[in-house]
Structures are given as structure tokens and as C-alpha cells.
Structure 1
Amino acid sequence: MSETDKTQDASVGVDGAGAAGTAASGSAVAAVAAAAASDTVVLNPRDQVAIALRDIRAGETVDWSDGAGGEGAALVLRDVPRGHKLLIRPVAAGQHVNKFGYSIGIAKEDIAVGDWVHTHNLKTGLGAVLDYTYKPQSAESGAEAASTASFPAGQTSFRGYVRDDGEVGIRNEIWIVNTVGCINKTCETLARLASRQFEGRGIDGVFHFPHPYGCSQLGDDLTATQKLLAALVRHGNAAGVLVVGLGCENNQVDAFKKVIGDYNPERVKFMKSQEVEDELEEGLSLIGELVDYAERFVRTDVPLSKLRIGLKCGGSDGFSGITANPLVGRVADAITSVAGTALLTEVPEMFGAETILMERAADEGVFGDIVKLVNDFKDYFIRHGQEIYENPSPGNKDGGITTLEEKSLGCTQKGGHATVTDVLAYGEPSRKPGLNLVQAPGNDLVSVTALSAAGAHVVLFTTGRGTPFGGPVPTVKIATNSQLADRKKNWIDFNAGRLIEGMGMDALRDELLAQIVSLASGEKQTNNERNGFREIAIFKDGVIL
């Protein structure tokens, strides 16, 4: 077998069956539910590793069960931190090691039962750019996934804002978008002054998103900046937008207008700072006009089919793939089951699990778009002389994630089992309901910004490490473990760690869905909103003059 063939096998699992993704996910949920009183959990009968649910010390004996009749005990040979992997079946050097029922890498050496499995004895089994074959998912496996995707009975709508162009928002905010980083502080001052001046009016606030670009950029870089900022201008959460330029930048206001396309002049205003005598006075006057316009909008019942959710994981740990990510996958399935839209990105964190998504493509055209999405990102790494599989991050490794395929198999679970209906270029808005894949890297700030630009009204952000970051839209921080949720109450909005403490997946899914509807209806805020943490980051891949 060639190295490419080995790599292809590694990315689709031992049996190479696409339906195994559904089966592995289902058995993992059952295993987690049964592990509440245990020290370990085995996610799939094909796995050679158990996940430690607590710190386990060398010399202890732990019992394990794979939920399918396989069980045993292991004498622990060295300390295994909580969330890390413990070998339960012997593996020889060069053999694949399974978790989730799929390969997560190749043993560097013979590994004995009871040993800690991590970077010292496990390496990635992935290779370079691959060729893929179109193998659509069977109707039976799709039907099985759909059977668990229903939205809670009786819930058909949320209370949102319907804009003049038919776009929908869950907030009635004024956004200040600057064409160039040179005027970040001017726009920051404008947002602060306007927030005080228009407090109590019919808006949810005035916000500015600083960035360093728009000047001295060329070619694709400038285009990417313009597309991203234009997508934010069009976002439904913004009732009104003030676009502020300097006057001498590459991203000129007049050129930027063309990228925005058709716009309502009552909703979008423009100011060139070098051409006005007092940019603060002029800016506040224009924002006043936007506030007058925004006050026309009131919340009304909006079908759930109009809701778009972004899916992102940041600072993963050993519990991400067994608690928060599969929980978010269930939520994504529920949203898409009512013709809503789920947006999944972090393309480098699809490497090693990409065929699971490819087999769920709506048709061969979408399959081809997924292949291009994945291989173009690999080419991006190669073009810059970087190792394609230089992942996971130090924080991920500390939390128990060893290889990229392990991280990817956990990461892609956020997409649930829905059909992939579209693939979106960076800065491109979503148009088709269902699961959409969005071109962007794994970086938290860049990818959440890209999800917002694609139209996400809210982003579900799973984390095992924690972060205070928030994007332009409400960013729901979902902890993978209860320790994090208890320790960082000002960061975390939802605790998925309860899944390994006895709470059922369906009950937790319904609770999270209810929280999302409440957020979308303006009844609640996320911690990032309450704390004023709103940031953007723009993807860069070119020359700055």
C-alpha cells in the first residue's frame, strides 16, 4: 500500500465506510451517557484507547467497557492526565490507533496496555494533497441521522428584525466599519460618543470593529479585505452602518461601494475623513440619521428557517470531541431540519476527517467544491513552506489532543449529520439552507469573523481551555468540562461537561436550543456582549507595501 493509500485509509477510518461517521457518533453519545460513574470512557468498540475522565495515577487499576460487550481492566503504567488517552488493547509500532472508531495516528513504538498515549508515542498518519472519489452517503444512514434532528415540539420561530431587503437580524445595532486601519481610533471615539448620545433610543448599541488593513494592500489581499468588510456592512444584525474612510488608502470609499453592491442609502452612510472639517461632528450627525432609521424596526415572529448559526471550536481538549462538539452537532442538525443554516469552518481542522463531509455532499458538484476547499488550503501551507499537519496547538496538546486527525474527528462533529449544501469562499454570504462549509483557517478571531461575514447571527464556540474573545455577533462559549464552566463564569455561557456527569444528550440539546432562541429573540445576552468584547480579524496572505 502506498503512503497516499495509507493516508486515505486513515482519513476515513479502518473500514473506509462513510456511514461509520454516523455510527461512531451515535455510539460515542451512548458511551458518554453510560460513563457518568466511571473513570474512563471508550467511544467506539473499534478503539484501542479509553479517555481518562479524571487524573489517573501510575499503579492504579481502572476498568473499561466499550459498550458493545468488550470490557476489561488495565494496570496504569504512567500518569494519565484528565482528558488524555489510556491504551486498552496492545498496539505494535507502525499500527493505526483508533478513537471515535477512526484512526487518529500511527504508533511510533510498541505501546503496552495501560500506557499513556500522546505525542511521545503517537504520530499523525496523514500525508500530502490527496485525490478523492465521490461516494455519496447512503439514504439509510441519512435517514438515521435525520431521525434525531427534530426541533423541540412547538418551537417554530424566534423574535427577530426583518430588514427592508428581506434580510433578518437578531440585534438592532449601529455598526461603524472603517475602510482602513489608520482611522481605528477615530471610529472607536465615534462609537463611544454615539453610545452615550443615543443611549435609550431604539437600538442595541453602537459598535466599531478595529482592524489593521485597507492601506498598502495589493491584489487578492485587498480583495479579501474588501469582501470581508462588505459582508459585515450587509449583515442583518446591523440596522444601520456608517462606513468611514480616510481618503488616501488603497481601499477607497468609492471602490468599496462597488464591492458592497446595491445598498439602501438610509441604512448605509459614508464619510471620507480627510474631506470633512470635523470628522467627529460629521460622524455623529450621520449616526443620528442611522439611529432614526433603525428605530423603525421592531421585533416580530420570524421562522426558524431564517436563523443562521456559526460553528467554531477554540482551545480544544480531550473532552471537546465527546461533549461540546457532538452537542453542537445535534443543535446544527435541529437547525438544518427546519431549513435553517449551519456554517462550519476551520478548514485545516477538517484534514483527516474531510471524507466524512465529502460523503454528505448534496451532489457531485458540492463534493468537488469540498475537495477544492481542502486541497487549496493544503496548497496554501505548501506554498508558504509550512508543514500541512503542524497542528494541534500547544494548548490542544496539553488538553489531550495528540494529532490533527484526532482534532479533526472531534472538530467536524460540530456539523452534525446534515447534508452539505454549499461551500462558501472567504467573505461570501450564505444563500442555501443546510450545512455550509466556509473557507477560513482555524484561528479563532479570523474564523469567527468569517462566519459572521457569511451571515451567522450567532456563533456557537466550543472550548476546553476558555477564552474571553467575542466576534461581531453574539458568541456563545460552550465549555467542554464543568471545571472550566465553574472557574470562568464571566466567559462561559453554557456547560456541555454535564454530559459526562449523567445528563442526557437530548435534554442538553433542547436546553441549548432554547438558549439560542432566547438569544435570537433579544431576551438574553452572551458574556461577550455584556463585557463589550467584540473583535474582528481579517485573513491575510499577501504583500503589504
Structure 2
Amino acid sequence: MKELIKINSRDNVVIALRNFTAGETITVDGNSITLLNDVEKGHKIALTDIPEGGDITKYGYPIGKATQPIKVGEYVHVHNVRTKLGEVFDYTYNPHFSELPHENKHLTFNGYRRKNGEVGIRNEIWIVPTVGCVNGIAEQIIREFKAEVNPTGIDGMEVFKHNYGCSQLGDDHVNTRKILGDIAMHPNAGGVLVLGLGCENNKIDEFAESLGDYDKSRIKFMSTQKVQDEVADAIALLKEIYAEVSQDVREAVPLSELKVGLKCGGSDGLSGITANPLVGYFSDFLISQGGTTTLTEVPEMFGAETILMDRCITEEVFDKTVHLINDFKQYFIDLKQPIYENPSPGNKAGGITTLEDKSLGCTQKGGIATVVDVLKYGERLHTKGLNLLSSPGNDLVSTTALGASGCHMVLFTTGRGTPFGSFIPTLKISTNSELAKNKPHWIDYNAGPLSEDKTFDEGLEELVAKIIRIANGEKANHEKAGFREIAIFKSGVTL
């Protein structure tokens, strides 16, 4: 079993794959090194003497600079390293493209073909509240509908509660309407009841108009203040929707129709070694099949953004990527907050030292494919291939944004573990085997053996098979537990 990994030949640190104690001797690149400190699994050890101000190099790129002289064999972390990152930058387009190492295998999954040509991997009935005031009524409606109808032949019924839809101005109001509209139009929903109150500023008639061309037999609207018995009237509408949805059947669909979001949370020192590069390998594979992946969490691109910029298919996409990065930095600056207040305490405990360290690991989820488009928050996917999406790193907000963009599911890599799930299937991929062993009811796939003896080709084969099973209807662990949530990005005042 491997005990150490040097990720790139240019690196001057090595990653511990087990706990080490001071005085132990390791051998890297033929050199024997005596450890000067205890070092936990996932953390870094200096391979050379590094002067104060010298670069700490991991993944072949600087992840920070030494705040004091660091000796060979010394533990390298937040106590002797800090970020090198600055503020808003000017960038230059230096395109560099790579050929993907996968052939088209012409795989299929069994999905639901919608009237507008889109494909869903679930056939559920959803209630989408226009305003948080009706969250409780929506739950009551579903309870009483299930008791009266005992629905079969569908994959589930959900209400996606939120706190917004009123007392919002400007971008917050627009974002709420966009995200809720994207959810209402998502192909994983066979039918939707949009439930309003009647006095909110997210007006139900304007909401309906914002959807554009929609299937009126499957998306219906009700304002609870305009009816006497809102529960009975809503149940009547749900019966109409259910009559349509219950007739839907799965059919074979090319894997090129699949859209997958890429996300991480609770990263550790193995994230950039196991789970993230495996997801990147899958992203390249899916794109080779003609499919689509979407990478988000903009603050966790800081420090690795030029790698993505150099992979932009055109200068126009490069310019959109520059705006993606700098606009998000400006958001921090406008609110007088530090741009690089990251990684989190859990990240640091797992071995991640700086934002560059985290970002270089995080962006590996995008593989090596060309970036074909950049989406604004709430914007839906237009182009097959690797897309970038504007959203913060917050797990619930960014995963909701991925679903709202049109992704069918999210691959969520984690070194610490989390039980949550969004309104679309959210597969948890553990970076280490200990997490998978301790939380089997959270974790859907264990990438930990990639640090031991499993090859990435073997891991890819297993992960592809798992993803196809999920697309075919197998429930992710959060779906089994009934954890389905949404969160909407908010940046302004509340009235």
C-alpha cells in the first residue's frame, strides 16, 4: 500500500497517505528524509529546504509561500505557509487544448423523454412555492394528496421549501424567480404545481410568463388567497398532473443527453489525489460521449483560474471566464470581505493549507476538457461539453444552481462527509476509505482505494456504471433518506 504521493515531478512537498511520527525515515525520488515532526494523513512534508518567501509547490504549481525557513522533512501547513494570491487581475488568453483519452462507447441510460425534447432521469411531481409563506400548506397538500390518492407509477413527490419570494429587491428578486423557474422547468419533474400566496412580489402571473413555452398539462398554478379551500383545490390540480405523469415510461437514451454537475465539499488532503481527479476523468469521459458537465464554486477557482482560462475554446469564452472570476472577487470587495477567507477549518484539518491548494485540487473535477461556455447564476445550459457556472462555494447554494442550470445529477466529492441532498440526485464520492466505512449511509461511491491499489481506469468503470444506475432510477443515499433541499443565492437587503 502506498504511504506517500508526490503529485507532480515539480513539487517540493509530498503528501502523507498515513499518519507519520517524528524521527521516521521516508524515501522519495531516491532520497532518504528524516521527519522532523508528526504528520497526519493528507498533510504535507517538505522534500527540500525552502527559504522564507520561497514557493510551496504542489500539483506542479505554487500553492503559497513560506512564512519562515522550512527544513527538509518538516511539516508544511498553515503555521509556516500563506497564500500568494492578490486581488482583481488582468489576464491574457494563452489557449492550450488537450485531446481527451476516451473513445465513444455509445452507452445509453433509461430516461424520460419530455415533450420539448429534453430528458429526465426522475419522474416526480413537485410543488414549487413562489414564496416561503406557503411552505407549510405545500407540505399539507402533499400529505393529504398521498392519503387520498396513494400515487403509484411515479418516482416521488416533493415540495422545495425556501425563505424567499417576497421582501426582496434587485438581483435577489431576479435570482429567486430564475432559480424557481428553472426548477419548475426541470426535466426530472414530470409535473409541477406552482403554489403562490397572492400578495408576494414574486407574482404568480409574472412567474408563469417568465417560463416561456411550457407544457400546460404538466405545470399548473394556484394562488392560495384566491380560493376558499386551498388544499382541496390544489389536490384537484395535482390529480390532473398525476393523470399525465403516471403514464410516463422510461426509454433508452444516448449517454450524450446526460448533464452532470461537479461539486465538492468538506475537502481533505486526498481530495486532489483521489475523488476530484476521478470525477475529472469521468467528466472527460462523458464529454467524449457527447455529454455535458458543469463546474462551479467560483471562489474555489481562485488560484487555479488561469488553467481554466487557457482551456477556453474561444477568446469570447475566455473573456466570460475573466468576468466570472473578477466579478466574484469584486463581490467580496464590495462587501468589504477578504477574498481569500478560505479554506474552512475542516479543510485545514484535512491537510489543505491555502486557497491555491484547495483550488488546484477542486478544479481537477473539470478534467482536461476544453471549456465551451460560461453561465451566469440561474442561466440554463446551452452547449454540450465542459461549462463553468457562476455560484458560490456554499454546498446547498451551488448544488441548487447546478440543478437549476439543467444538470440531471451532481457528483459531490467529500473528504469529511455530508448527508444533504439537493432537488436532483447528489452522489457523494468519498476521498478516503475511512469515511466510506464510517458513513456508508451518506457515501454513494468510495474513491479512497485510488490512493491504495486501484487504477483510475478501474475507478472510472465502476463510477460510470454507478452513474448509469442512478440515471436509470436507482436512488442516491440522500434520496433514500428523504433529504431534498434547495438554497437560493442572496446578496442584498431584506425589506
Question: 1:136/1:333 Cα in 2 relative to 1: closer, same or farther (>3 Å)?
Answer: same
Distance 1:57 1:196 in 2: 60
The answer to whether structure 1 residue 498 and structure 2 residue 457 are counterparts is: no
Residue matched to 2:64:
105
Distance 2:237 2:460 in 1: 43
Distance 2:365 2:494 in 1: 35
Cα RMSD, aligned residues only? 1.1
Write the letter of the residue equivalent to 1:284: I
Offset of residue 114 of structure 1? 1.1
The answer to whether the Cα contact below 8 Å between 1:46 and 1:101 also exists between their aligned partners in 2 is: yes
Residue matched to 1:259:
210
Where do 1:98-497 residues align within 5 Å? 98-138=57-97, 142-143=98-99, 146=100, 148-150=101-103, 153=105, 155-497=106-448
Question: 1:367/1:198 Cα in 2 relative to 1: closer, same or farther (>3 Å)?
Answer: farther
> For each residue in 1:193-243, what CA deviation from the matched residue of structure 2 results, as whole angstroms up to 9, or x when unmatched?
334444452211110111100110011110010001000011000000000
Offset of residue 449 of structure 1? 0.1
SS in 2 for 1:539: coil
Equivalent pairs counted in the alignment come to: 495
The answer to whether structure 1 residue 45 and structure 2 residue 45 are counterparts is: no
Distance 1:503 1:190 in 2: 49
Distance 2:433 2:143 in 1: 36
Offset of residue 150 of structure 1? 3.1
Distance 1:198 1:459 in 2: 32
Residue matched to 2:478:
528
SS in 2 for 1:326: helix
Offset of residue 488 of structure 1? 0.0
**Structure 2 unaligned spans of 5+:** none
Select between 464-473 and 278-287 the one with higher mean Cα deviation.
278-287
Residue matched to 2:39:
80
Offset of residue 63 of structure 1? 2.0
Moved over 4 A (4+): none
Residue matched to 1:544:
494
SS in 2 for 1:370: helix
The answer to whether the Cα contact below 8 Å between 1:177 and 1:208 also exists between their aligned partners in 2 is: yes
Offset of residue 149 of structure 1? 2.8
Distance 1:353 1:521 in 2: 35
The answer to whether the Cα contact below 8 Å between 2:2 and 2:451 also exists between their aligned partners in 1 is: no
> For each residue in 1:379-411, what CA deviation from the matched residue of structure 2 results, as whole angstroms up to 9, or x when unmatched?
000000011111001110111001001100000
Distance 2:311 2:296 in 1: 16
Distance 1:113 1:89 in 2: 4
> For each residue in 1:503-526, what CA deviation from the matched residue of structure 2 results, as whole angstroms up to 9, or x when unmatched?
11001101100111111111x210
Question: 1:179/1:72 Cα in 2 relative to 1: closer, same or farther (>3 Å)?
Answer: same
Distance 1:480 1:453 in 2: 26
The answer to whether the Cα contact below 8 Å between 1:195 and 1:205 also exists between their aligned partners in 2 is: no
TM-score by length of 2: 0.98
Distance 2:86 2:335 in 1: 17
Offset of residue 434 of structure 1? 0.2
SS in 1 for 2:137: helix
TM-score by length of 1: 0.89
Residue matched to 1:10:
none
